[in-house]
Amino acid sequence: MDTKTRNKWDRASKTFDFMTGTGAVKRWEPVKRELFSHMDGKILFLAVGTGLDIPFFPPDKNILGIDISPKMLAIAERRVNNYQGNMEIDVMDVHDLAVDDNFFDQIYTSCTFCSVPSPVEGLKSLHRVLKPGGEIFMFEHTGSHYFPFNLMMNIMTPLSRQVGPDMNRKTVENVQKAGFTDIKVSNVYLDVVKTIRAKKN
């Protein structure tokens, strides 16, 4: 277990809902609802956090939500209990998933790979537990290819990393490096906020 990352998000849990529970959640609600509408089969939801995305899940699904921070999950519990389906949560590090190979039909992430310390290794771990033919659905913010956004985000990342996420991750390239194929990327805001769908062959 990566205790440095766990402690960072345990600390962030105190103010997480206050900071992101209104603006970002409302702003991204339509896109997330559309992305989550594809949920089917055995589902892994990575980095469930305080559960702010749970109200957007379609009902009657079979979901395991994991997070590295026990304090985040403690806050998520109320939202998990209110979910109209089968949902369990567990403390787990993406780099060290205690799950059999080829176990899940689908994997979902939401603003996760801006914070995973070794993103390619994390994605390889998800690739391992996804069934062949299974799909990963991601809602992520990444770095930009456009000047001056890329310059700004590169400059600000050392600061933002201290309290939360990196702002300049190359998540699409990382998905490809981890072995996923048929990658579909839709930009939501500039080329910074995006949805990514990819398959395991």
Partner 1 sequence: MEHRIYFIIGDILSVVCTGAAVSMVCLALTPSDWNMFLAMFAGMAIGMITALVISAAIFVRYFGAMEVMIPSMLTGMLTGMFISMAATMINPSYSASACFGVVIGLITLFSTYFLNKDITKTQLNIR
> Which residues are at the interface with partner 1 (CB under 8 A)?
18-20, 22-24, 26-28, 141, 146, 148-149, 152, 155-156, 159, 172, 176, 181-193
CB nearer partner 1, residue 97 or residue 136: 136
CB nearer partner 1, residue 39 or residue 172: 172
Q: Is 102 helix (H, G, I), strand (E, B) or coil?
A: coil
Q: Which of 94, 100, 193, 88 is nearest to 138 (CA)?
A: 193
Please state the closest distance from residue 182 (CB atom) to partner 1, in A.
Answer: 6
What are the φ/ψ torsions at residue 143 (nearest 5 degrees)? -70, 170
Q: Are 170 and 163 in contact (CB under 8 A)?
A: no
CB nearer partner 1, residue 103 or residue 149: 149
Please state the closest distance from residue 140 (CB atom) to partner 1, in A.
Answer: 11
Please state the closest distance from residue 21 (CB atom) to partner 1, in A.
Answer: 8
CB nearer partner 1, residue 62 or residue 160: 160
Please state the closest distance from residue 146 (CB atom) to partner 1, in A.
Answer: 7
Please state the closest distance from residue 187 (CB atom) to partner 1, in A.
Answer: 5
Give CB contacts under 8 A, 24+ apart, made by 29-38.
29/56, 31/139, 31/188, 31/195, 32/56, 32/110, 32/139, 35/108, 35/137, 35/139, 35/195, 36/108, 36/137, 38/106, 38/135, 38/137
State how far the Cα of 106 lies from the Cα of 64, in Å rounded to an integer.
11
Q: Are 110 and 104 in contact (CB under 8 A)?
A: no
CB nearer partner 1, residue 3 or residue 14: 14
CB nearer partner 1, residue 98 or residue 159: 159
Please state the closest distance from residue 105 (CB atom) to partner 1, in A.
Answer: 22
Provide the residue type at 20 as one letter: T
